[in-house]
Structure 1
Amino acid sequence: MPLETVTTGLQFPEGPIAMADGSVILVEIRRKTLSRVAPDGTVTVIAELGGGPNGAAIGPDGRVYVCNNGGLGWIDLEGGIMVPHGAAADYAGGCIQAVDLQTGTVEVIYTECDGRPLSAPNDIVFDRQGGFWFTDLGKENDTTRDYGALYYAKIDGSFISRQRDRLSWPNGCGLSPDESVLYVAETWTGRLWAYDISEPGVLKAPEVSYMPGRLILTLPGYQPFDSLAVQATGDVCVATGVNGRITIISPGGAQQEVPIPDFITTNICFGGADMKDAWVTASSTGILYKTRWDTAGLKLAFNG
């Protein structure tokens, strides 16, 4: 698939949202902002978020909900390549934020669950009931790391539930077309998990007690997974690092690959009238790409 460079110079872009006007809203993790990229590549800042804004999604009230990981450390390589490394020196905890697109007003919705602070919220997806699932990757430093977790919450701050605990690097998340399955990509293991949903916001108990869900696929070698998006067919498109690509995975575990020229390819989103316009964040190089996808993306519960 030929790639069009929409814009360059982004500060580690992630969490893209395709908007009806052709623009893309995304976070710039290193810049600590929610930004808008116009079709002509012009970048404007919507809000200053602080910490480390990561996954983002439109909620039922039209605001953008952001998983903020609390801030990352950075390594700068030759050629302007940016690589995240552990927690920022001023890391003070993760949170869920909501941003009014008209005013840029930022509200912190959640900082903890049942008295336990959020560590590093990473990715988010809304269901049709207006609640949202989100992953918490966990933070690490030179000697220790937090476990990750999987949460469900409501936008008014009234309810948050930890649905899975003691997970290893849960990153991208997305719902199947019928919302009966939550897919979660596990970063350093290169695994895609499926979690069966019994009712909105509640996961079924795992079929095997020592596994968090149903294992769909484990990639061979060292191929870390990042964020994901689901196609209308139900296949899952997972951004894949080191080799730089989008890995398209069927619910049965079959896979195909679309190469992307960045070893830290982090996310994909779909939009356009036929949902076949795709935007990909190439984060280490700070580029947003656009392409035409062979298969339509799944239309999300709430859209810009």
Structure 2
Amino acid sequence: MKLTKVCEGLDFPEGPIAMADGTVILVEIRGQTLSRVDPEGKIDVIAKLGGGPNGAAVGPDGMIYVCNNGGFVWTETDGIRRPIGTPEGYKGGSIQRVDPSNGSFETIYESCEGQPLRGPNDIVFDANGGFYFTDLGKSTSTYVHHGAFYYAKTDGSHIARVHSPMITPNGIGLSPDNSTVYVAETRTSRIWSFDLVAPGEIGPLSFDMPGRLVATLPDYQLLDSLAVQADGKICVATLMRGGISIVCPESGEVEFVEVEGDPYTTNICFGGEDMSDAWITASGTGCLYHARWKSPGLRLNYNG
């Protein structure tokens, strides 16, 4: 599969959204921005959000909803930037709503049931107009906060913790029929699935399992954000190996597409008329790539 570099110079890009006008909206986590990349690779900042904007998605109102992880400590080795901890000025995580037409934004959630959000990460909207998001948690050299995934409404009226605790939950997505939610854990290299019985409500779990195990990647591969294909396969960005793992939820079989030169490949999104255009964020080197994917991606419930 041929990967074409759309642009470079992004400051740890993540959360790509393929827009109907051919542009890609994404976040720059280290740069603390929501930005737009046009087909020629020109980068324009939409909003300076502070903290650490991470996942992003278009809501039913056309606004961009951003998971803000609150920020990281950064390091760079051999030309690869990466996050390594929690900064001194960290104040917590949040969910932000951004107007892409003028860059104005507001914070709609900072806590759930009195517990602060730590590191909101990835986000996906269901057909009812609500959204699921993961909270990776936060860590230092001496502790790690447990993570969880949540369900919330766009008007700020409802947020609920769907399932916890989890070990660094990161990527989140929905099956084509919206009956299953998938969550990828970074540190365990596992993808879990959960049956949905109502919006924001999962079915009962086995007492000895935190979910239904879809797959565990071998060796030292860390999982990041994900997107789902129209055929139901899960495309999860895979750190350290550097690329996209395509996982069959029925069999657990895995294919792999390499992004050469960047072990911090963090996300993928789909777009185009046939949903076979894929955009991939190579965050360590600050690049956005485009490819013609061999299977079309799942069309999201909302897009701009």
- What TM-score do you get using the length of structure 2 for normalisation? 0.98
User: Mean alpha-carbon deviation: is it higher for 21-30 or for 210-219?
Assistant: 210-219
Task: Provide the rounded CA distance (Å) in 2 between the counterparts of 1:221 and 1:249.
Answer: 16
Hey, what's the Cα distance between the residues in 1 that align with 2:66 and 2:213? 27
How far the C-alpha of 1:189 sits from its partner, in A, is: 1.0
- Matched residue count: 302
Note if contact 1:196-1:213 (Cα within 8 Å) is conserved in structure 2.
Answer: no
SS at match of 1:251: coil
Residue equivalent to 2:167? 168
Q: Over the residues paired in the alignment, what is the CA RMSD in angstroms?
A: 0.7
Corresponding letter in the other structure for 2:34: L
Give the letter aligned to residue 6 of structure 2: V
Quote the residue 2:120 is aligned against: 121
- Give per-residue Cα distances to partners, 1:39-90, cap 9 Å, x unaligned: 00000000010000000000000000000000011012233x2011111221
Q: Which residue of 1 aligns with 2:69?
A: 69
Match for residue 299 of structure 1? Answer: 299
Offset, 1:188: 1.1
Identical residues among aligned pairs (%): 59
1:189-228 equivalent positions in 2, closer than 5 A: 189-206=188-205, 208-228=206-226
Tell me, in whole angstroms, the C-alpha distance in 2 between the residues paired with 1:190 and 1:78.
25
Distance 1:13 1:210 in 2: 37
Amino acid at match of 1:170: P
Alignment partner, residue 244 of structure 1: 242
Is 1:93 aligned to residue 89 of structure 2?
no
2: CA distance between counterparts of 1:277 and 1:227?
Answer: 18
Partner SS for 1:89:
coil
Counterpart Cα distance in 2 of 1:36 and 1:78: 27
CA distance in 2, matches of 1:210, 1:97: 35
Report the CA distance between 1:255 and its aligned residue.
1.2
- Look up the equivalent residue of 2:135 and give its one-letter code: D
Superposition deviation, residue 209 in structure 1 = 1.3
Look up the SS of the partner of 1:211 in the other structure. coil
Q: Secondary structure at the match of 1:198?
A: strand
Secondary structure at the aligned position of 1:300 is classed as coil
Write out aligned runs for 1:27-106 (5 A).
27-79=27-79, 81-106=80-105
Partner of 1:258: 257
- Residue 21 of structure 1: how far off its partner (Å): 1.0
CA distance in 2, matches of 1:273, 1:5: 20
Deviation of 1:245 after TM superposition, in Å, equals 1.3
Give unpaired runs (5+ residues) of structure 1.
none
- 1:273-299 deviations in whole A, cap 9, x for unaligned? 000000000000000000000000000
Query: Is 1:180 paired with 2:179?
Result: yes
Output the TM-score relative to the length of structure 1.
Answer: 0.98
- Partners of 2:203 and 2:90 in 1: how far apart? 34
Runs of 4+ aligned residues of structure 1 deviating over 6 Å after TM superposition are: none
